[in-house]
Amino acid sequence: IKECQLDMFADRTSAATMKANQLRLWFASIAYVLLAALRRIALAHTQLEKATCGSLRLKLMKIGAQVTVTVRRIRVAMASACPYAEEFALAHARLCR
């Protein structure tokens, strides 16, 4: 619960209505479940296997990349100096299976 509150910002209920706050909490809960599944399925036996959700956001999702969209494919080009490029590629390959 603490990881979901701190890393997914589930404790922020600053909207004006109860419905908006409830929707924000649902989104935070869904994001936590998705990151937990990513950790369990795609990052097993890697150095990010036991990383917190905040670390996964920082190391895997907040990366600089050049995205090229064509009619047939979407190409993501990461910098060659990306320190977690291998983990990113491994997670992508495991999720595509």
- The predicted-structure confidence for 38-95, as pLDDT tens digits, reads as follows 888 888 888 888 888 888 888 887 777 889 999 999 998 888 887 888 888 888 899 8
Task: State residue 71's pLDDT score.
Answer: 94
pTM of the predicted protein model: 0.69
Task: State residue 85's pLDDT score.
Answer: 83
The count of domains in the chain is 1
- The predicted-structure confidence for 6-47, as pLDDT tens digits, reads as follows 666 666 667 778 787 788 888 878 888 888 888 888 888 888
Task: State residue 16's pLDDT score.
Answer: 79
Phi-psi region of 9 (alpha: psi -120 to 50; beta: other; left: phi over 0): left
Phi/psi for 14 (5° steps) reads -105, 10
Domain that holds residue 69: 2-96
Q: How far apart (Å, rounded) are the C-alpha atoms in residues 13 and 51?
A: 26
**CA angle at 79 for the pair 59 and 93, rounded to the nearest 5°:** 65
